[in-house]
Structure 1
Amino acid sequence: MASHPHPHHHGDDHRHNHGPASSQRLLMALFLTTGFMTVEAVAAWWTGSLALLADAAHMLTDSASLALALFADRLARRPADGHRTYGYGRAKVLAGFVNGLTLLALSGWITIEAILRLQAPPQIIAGPMLWVACGGLGVNLLAFWVLHGGQENDVNVRGAALHVMGDLLGSVAAISAAAVILLTGWMPIDPLLSLVVAALLLRSALRLTRECGHILLEGRPAGLDPAEVRRLLPDAVPGVVDVHHVHAWSLGDDEPALTLHVVTTPGTEPDLLIKAVRDTLQRRFGELHTTVQVEYAGCSHPPA
């Protein structure tokens, strides 16, 4: 029984190629968001508005996501080393998981505070609240415009832009609450709209935590089904008799990886077979970090 492992890795160089322009966009958006977040938090304390404070909390999560994108953009430039042989892509995923847990905590705090304020609505200074909320909307629009030009080819910038776009809704909620209070004096609108912002935070937190947890638990990437790989290769690649021990996971948030054992007929040239397998998988699933082990007389381990 002979087993000839021929590992082939593909896709290491085309990822994490974030240029200085991406870092500049992220840094500018981070400066805008963090600066106005501080102004909004102080204004929320002054005016007594929970909606304004909830929007400031949402901007805090935006700042965290922008800082995370900046961190990932720079860390991804570091080459793999003896301690991190796959590189540093997972650092971003781990930080994203922690960020998601923070979002969950913030949404829970806003919800509890809103319920308490619905029972005893405090007096709110609606005029300054309205002006600050309008300023927040303007800052979010500017930050989104800064990021928009660089999001087509950069997954980090695209994710940051989506966070900022979500915060626009929080600003709209604060503006709406201030307008209603100015026109009618109805104070409960502030905690009610704060619940809307909390729901937005909760939705983002659950999605982010679930996606990061899936990667950290070595879950398979979306669209990359090991069962389909096992069905595809024997039909598509001449000489492939059987495919087993197929494992798919993600090295980072956009780096799918695949390992598999391929049983072939005697006399097949292994290098040509590996190339054919790699090309077939790339046509079907896109760029992959692939390791192929070629076997001629079955596998010494039971099929997985």
Structure 2
Amino acid sequence: MAHSHSHAPADANARRLLLAFIVTAVFMLVEVAGGIISGSLALLADAGHMLTDAAALLFALLAVWFARQPPSAHRTFGWLRLTTLAAFVNALALVLITVWIIWEALQRFYHPQPVAGLTMMVIAIAGLLANLLAFWLLHRGSEEKNLNVRAAALHVLGDLLGSVGAIAAALVIMLTGWTPVDPILSVLVSALVLRSAWRLLKESVNELLEGAPSTFDIGALKRHLRRAIPEVRDVHHVHVWLVGEKPLMTLHVQVIPPRDHDKLLAEIQHFLTHHYQIEHSTVQMEYQLCKGPDCTLGESQPDHHH
């Protein structure tokens, strides 16, 4: 298949993603070291949140790189599914890290630990500046409307809340000496991390199981396709799944015998691309009504069209 578009936007997005990943990963390590030195569990929790950001940036960067790799006879879809496998492993790791932080926070409620408020404040401010820098780098790529860049920018924007919270907790400790604010904040930040990790785990498992995208309505697609193209009488055996971020589809279509088979096929594929952003579809056209048990897949009730 020939490609007429330029790689310049993809190269620019890749550079922004790489720079933002480096900034986020470096300051994640700084927060880990700062959390250990200061004794702040909130900084360690925020470092866990930054780990979700670094992972999101890395997956976005890998998706850009893998999308350029040509498929082979052994890997007909290339390496795109590798990002999904990495996301699954990362989500499991994040869940374990979050459980450990919450457990440690509960222990600190019963056995308070000293926290170096000034050190915590310095590290938290540095983390906030790192998030601002990463967000600025990614926001510059928003003109291309790239899904990976926008998603990564939202991750980083969400992490700003954790950094602001760590600064507030450091102020409370410095002014009042009340250290329980540190484990309280760590539990709140861990809840944000757990929410992101759980969503990532669900999405990666769904993709590994070749499930349909959560927002995809097969029944609506069937009805829409029949209304849009008069020659289409019935749509069945619809299967849709994701490889990387790319949706793929196979479907059987019962049609009125056309005068121009290729023209009708092109019209159906154009419909899928234009309305559902499915650029890779395999369409089998048939002239007889489907009578098998899978003919109503995706419909709440049997879908008959006369």
Q: TM class, shorter-chain normalised?
A: 0.7 to 0.9
**8 Å CA contact 1:242, 1:262 repeated in 2:** yes
**Structure-1 residue corresponding to 2:162:** 170
- Structure 2 portions without partners, runs of 5+: 296-306
Instruction: Name the residue aligned to 2:60.
Output: 69
Please give the alpha-carbon distance, in whole angstroms, between the structure 1 residues aligned to 2:176 and 2:52.
Answer: 32
Single out whichever of 225-234 and 49-58 deviates more from structure 2. Answer: 225-234
Name the TM-score, length of structure 2 as normaliser: 0.87
Distance 1:82 1:17 in 2: 28
Distance 1:146 1:39, change over 3 A: same
Alpha carbons of structure 1 residues 16 and 301: separation in structure 2 relative to 1, 3 Å:
farther
Asked if the contact 2:48/2:193 (under 8 Å) is kept, the reply is: no
Considering only aligned residues, what root-mean-square deviation do their CA atoms show, in Å? 2.6
Q: Specify the SS of the correspondent of 1:291.
A: strand
Q: What is the identity, as a one-letter code, of the residue corresponding to 1:146?
A: L
Are 1:54 and 2:45 an aligned pair?
A: yes
Residues 223, 285 of structure 1: 8 Å contact kept: no
97-106 vs 238-247, greater mean Cα deviation: 238-247
Higher relative contact order (CA 8 A, sep 6+): 1
**Comparing 222-231 with 244-253, which one deviates more in the overlay?**
222-231
Which of these residues, 185, 190, 194, is aligned with residue 198 of structure 1?
190
- How far did residue 13 of structure 1 move? 8.1
Give the C-alpha shift of residue 66 in structure 1. Answer: 2.1
Within the alignment, does 1:118 sit opposite 2:109 as a pair? Answer: yes
Unaligned runs of 5+ in 1: 1-9
Is residue 65–residue 99 contact of structure 1 (8 Å, CA) maintained in 2?
no
- How many aligned positions are there? 294
Q: Residue 276 of structure 1 aligns to a residue in which SS?
A: helix
Question: SS in structure 1 opposite 2:262?
Answer: helix
Match for residue 246 of structure 1 among 222, 235, 238:
238
**Aligned residue for 1:259?**
250
Alignment of 1:124-273 (within 5 A): 124-152=115-143, 153-253=145-245, 255-266=246-257, 268-273=259-264
1:214-270 deviation digits (Å, cap 9, x = unpaired)? 2222222244322223323333323323222111222222x2222111222345421
CA separation of 1:189 and 1:223: change in aligned 2, threshold 3 A: closer
Q: Could you say if the C-alpha distance between residues 17 and 259 of structure 1 is closer, same or farther in structure 2, counting changes exceeding 3 Å?
A: farther
What SS does the aligned partner of 1:186 have? coil
Report the identity percentage.
48
* CA distance in 2 between partners of 1:301 and 1:17 (Å): 48
| 1:26 equivalent among 17, 29, 36 | 17
CA distance in 2, matches of 1:303, 1:15: 42
